[in-house]
A and B are shown apart, each in its own frame.
Chain A
Amino acid sequence: MKIAAQSDFYFQTYGPNEGIKRLEKLGYQYITYTITDRYDQPFTTKWTDTEIKERYEPIKKAVEASNLEMLFAMIGTDIYNDVLHHTFEARKKMCVNAVKAAAYAGCGIIAVRPATIVRAVQNAMEKSKEISLEVFNAMKEEAEKMGVKLAFINNTMSQTLWGGNFCYGSTAADLVELSERYDAGIIIDPVSAYNSLQRVEELLVGVGDKLIGFLITDIEGATKSSVLPTMGIINYSEISNCLRQVPEETALVVMQTPILKRYGDFIHNEPMVEALNQFLRKTADVIVRKNEN
């Protein structure tokens, strides 16, 4: 399996060239990039194509000049999983702009989460699919122009769940159906699976050879806050066993951003960051090795 680092924190903190150097020093060969702009930010509301290109093209150039390979981009979770009528068009536009950003950043694949609609809405499941498809179709149109493929991540309902509502999570069958229609494969986020009351192991069985990525991330059971992988609620022992069934080329993506952000006050303390990254990298290695044994 490929072990990849979520790279956006490095690019944002150190700039593309220095960020790449640091990721190489940590021993990574593969990276992913998470686009975290929001539907109500200038990225969506104001930026022209030229501005998006200026912002993201340096990433592509830095990666091309390095020994790293960019596997795929992901759109951050706060995109359109709370679909309200008055923001829907803006959220759709944000996703379309994210396709452009991914292309300029040199990502051949962009992954997005299907919509989730609160269950209180009539025909919520059908409505979820309807609006998801509307956004995917818009993204697909742009993706074909830009030479980018679409992939899908299982979504979460945690925010609305804790707010008192209840949403549908995307099932393995939903993801397979979408990936067959839009062609680039599936990425599994174990925390989203947990928050959607689904077993990660079942999702893995369901997606089979369509899996292109698995996110190494974890949360604390009671508070749902991020913790180091293997220390939280996610059963990495069972996951490791299940990963035997997936394609060898699947990327295990070490989700560094939520962890590194927790140490924002100390992030320029290089020995600490290096030790943290060594731990995260070793965790991915151990998960893979257990899978191979």
Chain B
Amino acid sequence: MKIGTQLGFSDGLNLMEEEIFKHLSDAGFDCVDYPLMLENYDSPIWKLSDIELRNKMETTKNIIHKNGLTVGQTHSPLDAYWWGDISTKEARWNAQIQAIKASAFLGSPYVVVHPLTWTYRGNKQKYEEAKNINMEFYRFLEPYLKEYNVKVAIENLFGYDLHNRPCRSTCSTASDLKNYVDTLDSDCFVVCLDVGHATLALQDPVEMIYELGKDYLHVTHIHDNCYLNDDHMMPGFGKLDWYSIGKALRDIGYEGVFNFEADRSYYKLGEFGKELSLDLLKFYAKLGRAIVEST
């Protein structure tokens, strides 16, 4: 199993792109989770022409490849839903298309695209409304996925209840995720399991891995929490069962990347980050291998 990560370790280190990927490679990572989600739908990057976007992303891809890495996955902008201002819908969805193109230019086989989500608290009518609008959304993306040979990984999410506690929401369960992929009925769509989100939606990530199996599960987001908040902590410092998660991924024959989305640990280093981030990065790589290889 390959090990990947986001690039949060480099924040505040004033590194050139070449240096960032060299550090990742030296630490022992195989793959990069390139952070397109940090760009809002109105970011200038989404207004680039196709040629400009291709040049920019291919330059980055070449640096990544030169360092023996590949882009395992990207993440599209998080703001695809318009929250009452439907006049922004076109621009928001256009950013998603651009993210698909950018992913292709980076050589990424997958782009994680969150379902449009709100918390429906068990209301079946709202569940259907959410599903309908998500089917419209994902089908809108499908022609571009085919053209650029990229798959969308639909990620499990959670919501908050009336008391501001985490709860189930859109695509929170393995059966919801499978239902979405089956309804779309296209090989352009797979599942991204965020193991931290699973616990916040009161799901067992280990059971979800077994239920999804390798046919649905192609992408992971790996981080830890204490079942209270979406902390994106380093595995081991929350309450998830990492031995069982590693075992489950091996048992189903998971062929994707074990991809850390736990950058908050780097931010928590604060002013010590300049001296400790790279050591922490090395530990992450070794920890990832330990989890996926321990028997």
Contact = CB atoms under 8 A, between A and B. Distances in A.
B226 A228 contact: no
Interface stretch (B168-176, B214-222, B268-276): B268-276
Contact of A286 (B265, B268, B276): B276
B253 to A, nearest CB: 21
Interface string B225-241: 01011000110111000
A272 B287 contact: yes
B236 A262 contact: yes
Given A222-B229, A263-B236, A286-B276, A237 B271 contact: yes
A275 B283 contact: yes
Question: Looking at chain B's contact residues, is the secondary structure mostly helix, strand, loop, or mixed?
Answer: helix
A271 to B, nearest CB: 5
Interface in A219-235: 220, 222-223, 225-228, 230-232
Given A237-B270, A271-B286, A279-B276, A228 B294 contact: no
Contacts of A271: 286, 289-290
A124 B147 CA distance: 75
Nearest to B234: A228
B237 A230 contact: no
Interface residues of A, number: 27
B243 A265 contact: yes
Contacts of A231: 265, 268-269
Interface string A197-238: 000000000000000000000001011011110111000110
B272 A228 contact: no
Given A222-B226, A263-B236, A232 B283 contact: no
A269 B293 CA distance: 9
A25 to B, nearest CB: 16
A275 B265 CA distance: 16
Contacts of A195: none
Contacts of A266: 242-243, 287, 290-291, 294
A223 B226 contact: yes
Given A266-B291, A279-B280, A279-B283, A228 B237 contact: yes
A276 interface: yes
6 contacts: A220-B237, A223-B226, A228-B234, A228-B237, A263-B236, A278-B282
Interface of A: 220, 222-223, 225-228, 230-232, 236-237, 262-263, 265-266, 269, 271-272, 274-276, 278-279, 282-283, 286
